[in-house]
């Protein structure tokens, strides 16, 4: 198995992708809007990916947050609210906000499992900061680390109840960045004592099954390398100060925050301490270059992967999708009535 999670180009595997994936045996796959048409197509695609991998529990990821980040969209699937909706409810009724978030996440999980997706890149634990770039914006669960952690835990619990693994992101925190890491490399110059609030939600939820790194430079910790490529940040902050010892994947290796060849980027995130490199575009030449940068997945990384996927052996709650949505919406309405 190769320590990569890879995308694909369209709604069905091409012959070239099939041959390549069979050869490199990626740890998992990630889907985007270009891979999604309708329920029947998407279920057929995920069945094909599982058969190709030869693993029923192969991770098949998607970014289905709600709001502006949703790969599965209306009219085939319902729209879900962004994180800010639950933050607003928390102002009025904290317990209701937590319950609404748990129901929302469980509904997401039910929707994803129906089409064979078993990992959602959610929740964001990025603490929103004044003056930061809007790439996080209304995706965030708030400006208070304790609130972000409480809503994040409800998200993880809801996803697990519906039989889906959650991925906390973007460790050690993207909420302070003044640039979009998809476009350029953000540099955060806040002192270490201020960054304590950024890492607090991740430390609170350090038992999450999976986490995704931030392509952000934190000068207080490593002025030369973004967190995804920094052995210092991953060893001392993510694994050390935060105490996260489960599966750690990089953010997308194709983002413009990173420089150098895809071979070097992939080798770099693994050398820094990520268990898995994530590549999203489905570009074959780029994926081939990524695969050239790594060998077999490390034994400890494989253990972390297996442990994460084992947390979803079976859904813990069979509440119908419609009932979960109704519960969420009734609770969110409290914020509008206040």
**Where does residue 69 rank: exposed (0-12), middle (13-18), buried (19+ CB within 10 A)?**
middle
Of the candidates 180, 160, 176, 177, the one whose C-alpha atom is nearest the C-alpha of residue 168 is 160
Which residue's entry shows tokens 């995130």? Answer: 269
- Please, are residues 308 and 210 in contact by the beta-carbon 8 Å criterion? yes
What are the phi and psi torsion angles at 166 (to 5°)? Answer: -95, 155
- Please, are residues 23 and 59 in contact by the beta-carbon 8 Å criterion? no
Report, in angstroms and rounded to the nearest whole number, the Rg of the chain calculated over CA atoms: 19
**Distances from the Cα of 298 to the Cα of 231, 247, 295, 318, angstroms:** 16, 12, 9, 36
Cα 300 from chain centroid (whole Å): 20
Residue 281, classed as helix, strand or coil, is coil
List active site positions.
182, 251
Residue 19, classed as helix, strand or coil, is helix
Q: Give one DSSP letter per residue of 132-175, joined into a string.
A: --TTTGGGS--SSHHHHHHHHHHHHHHHHHTT-EEEEEEET--T
Q: How many CA atoms lie within 13 A of 215 on its CB side?
A: 23
- Please, are residues 216 and 181 in contact by the beta-carbon 8 Å criterion? yes
Contacts of 85 (CB under 8 A, 6+ apart): 332, 335
Contacts of 327 (CB under 8 A, 6+ apart): 99, 100, 103
**Distances from the Cα of 123 to the Cα of 49, 85, 162, 336, angstroms:** 25, 14, 15, 24
């Amino acid at each position: 198995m190769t320590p990569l999670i890879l995308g694909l180009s369209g709604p069905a595997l091409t012959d070239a992708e099939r041959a390549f994936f069979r050869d490199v045996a990626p740890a998992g796959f990630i889907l985007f809007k270009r891979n999604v048409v309708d329920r029947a197509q998407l279920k057929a695609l995920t069945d094909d990916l599982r058969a190709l991998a030869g693993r029923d529990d192969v991770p098949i990821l998607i970014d289905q947050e709600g709001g502006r980040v949703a790969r599965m969209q209306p009219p085939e699937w319902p729209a879900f609210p962004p994180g800010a909706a639950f933050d607003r409810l928390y102002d009025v009724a904290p317990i209701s906000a937590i319950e609404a978030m748990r129901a929302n996440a469980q509904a997401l999980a039910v929707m994803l499992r129906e089409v064979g997706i078993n990992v959602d890149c959610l929740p964001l634990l990025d603490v929103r900061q004044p003056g930061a770039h809007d790439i996080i914006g209304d995706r965030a669960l708030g400006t208070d680390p304790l609130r972000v952690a409480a809503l994040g835990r409800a998200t993880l619990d809801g996803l697990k109840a519906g039989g889906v693994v959650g991925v906390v992101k973007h460790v050690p925190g993207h909420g302070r960045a003044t640039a979009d890491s998809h476009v350029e490399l953000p540099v955060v110059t806040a002192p270490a004592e201020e960054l304590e609030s950024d890492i607090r939600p991740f430390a609170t939820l350090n038992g999450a099954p999976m986490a995704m790194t931030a392509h952000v430079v934190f000068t207080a910790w490593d002025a030369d390398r973004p967190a995804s490529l920094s052995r210092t940040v991953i060893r001392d902050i993510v694994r050390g100060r935060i105490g996260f010892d489960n599966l750690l994947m990089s953010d997308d290796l194709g983002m413009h925050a990173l420089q150098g060849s895809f071979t070097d980027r992939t080798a770099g995130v693994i050398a820094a301490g990520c268990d898995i490199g994530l590549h999203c575009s489905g570009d074959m030449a780029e994926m081939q270059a990524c695969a050239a940068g790594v060998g077999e997945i490390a034994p400890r990384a494989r253990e972390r992967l297996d442990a994460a996927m084992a947390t979803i052996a079976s859904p813990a709650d069979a509440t119908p999708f419609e009932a979960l949505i109704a519960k969420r919406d009734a609770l969110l309405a409290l914020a509008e009535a206040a």
